[in-house]
Structure 1
């Protein structure tokens, strides 16, 4: 980290004191991350974020007074802080509700310290992050929902099948890698291009296909069969 760069500023919220202390210790040990404070419930988290204006808020989902999903909605209605949700439970409804509330990341508490730190860096850079264990479940759910919506629309008004013709070959390559759940930096390594270039290509993919976010792009890729070979 150069002198011109400042660390990523983080607040943490969890109602389990030992878990909270452990998270803080893990992140404080990172030279590029600074923990601004901790909270024991969702209401405290909202107030703490308002006071400290962090880059990232890392919130447990199941907390008293106000849960993490409710806290996320309130935080994002006030300011532009990225949110990473933490949970012990592999529940699809938690994942979907978190994303709908505006969270940029979703991580299970079984993640390693390295994965936790990297998740903070990832969402702070503007990327989305999902626990690998939950990615396929979300893709299946999203594809099913979109397919049902398309079937309903087709019955009422026949429409032209969507295609990948608007995409350049490089955009298609990036989309195929994203469908594996890879981050921009990982895609860049596989395609021998920079992470910022990957980000630019993904933005163009979303614009051309008229998709709202990366999750929809991944669902689209799986529906169309645009998936690269899995990394070894």
Structure 2
């Protein structure tokens, strides 16, 4: 017979806590090794017992999201499943960002919590079916915005030069406006073409405008 999955439960609601203990106590696949009722005691519980899984409520006293991140950082073998009555997409995204690999709702059947444990123990992400598509869309959109923000970083001088390019100014005119040499402007132009994957000054302007439009779209979605 395989070794049971060790489970810790962190919830400050006594009735619900007792119900979860009863659920897992009747299972040969799971072993309850400890309970906690706050974010701080959750961290201590993980440090003391190193469970395979800790099931955490979001409404406990303390900073639960920070504790999730601490658990993931200090006990990487412990999987964190959020089991909560809070059903906002933002709560799910924040928990997953902190390092949780499971998000289940308290209003769901108990079988879903068992499924969540099996899923995260298999190295996969579990999100309650009710919100799975919305949460995954949120994760993809967040990743897209982050990639966009990190894709091209322009310094202040490069942004100034692009501003002048958009006004159709020549290198000599830009140099005069910025009180730098024309050779320095050419140096920045070379760097801009590399960063923006542009072949000439016209493509630099086009790429810059496209980048601005994308950033505006990303900001509107955030």
Answer whether TM exceeds 0.5 for this pair.
Answer: yes
Q: Which ranges of 4 or more aligned residues in structure 1 deviate by more than 3 Å?
A: 142-154, 156-159
Question: Matched residue of 1:133: which SS?
Answer: coil
Q: Which has the higher contact order (CA 8 A, sep 6+)?
A: 1
More deviation in 15-24 or 68-77?
68-77
In structure 2, what is the Cα distance between the partners aligned to 1:79 and 1:147? 29
**Which has the higher Rg, Structure 1 or Structure 2?**
2
Aligned match for 1:74, one of 70, 73, 81: 70
Question: Matched residue of 1:31: which SS?
Answer: coil
Question: Matched residue of 1:12: which SS?
Answer: strand
Shift in Å, 1:97: 1.0
Measured on the aligned residues, the alpha-carbon RMSD in Å equals 2.3
Q: Unaligned 5+ residue runs, structure 1?
A: 160-232
Question: Matched residue of 1:132: which SS?
Answer: coil
The equivalent of 2:11 in structure 1 is 14
Contact 1:8 1:55 in 2 (8 A): yes
The two structures have a TM-score, normalised by structure 2, of 0.63
Question: Matched residue of 2:130: which SS?
Answer: helix
The equivalent of 1:60 in structure 2 is 57
Shift in Å, 1:142: 3.2
In structure 1, what is the Cα distance between the partners aligned to 2:72 and 2:144? 30
Alpha carbons of 1:151 and 1:90: their partners in 2 closer, same or farther (altered >3 Å)?
same
In structure 2, what is the Cα distance between the partners aligned to 1:55 and 1:124? 8
In structure 1, what is the Cα distance between the partners aligned to 2:147 and 2:68? 31
The two structures have a TM-score, normalised by structure 1, of 0.61
Length, aligned pairs only: 155
Contact 1:30 1:117 in 2 (8 A): no
Contact 1:8 1:121 in 2 (8 A): no
Q: Deviations over 1:113-136 (max 9, x none)?
A: 111112112212222111111212
Contact 1:8 1:56 in 2 (8 A): yes
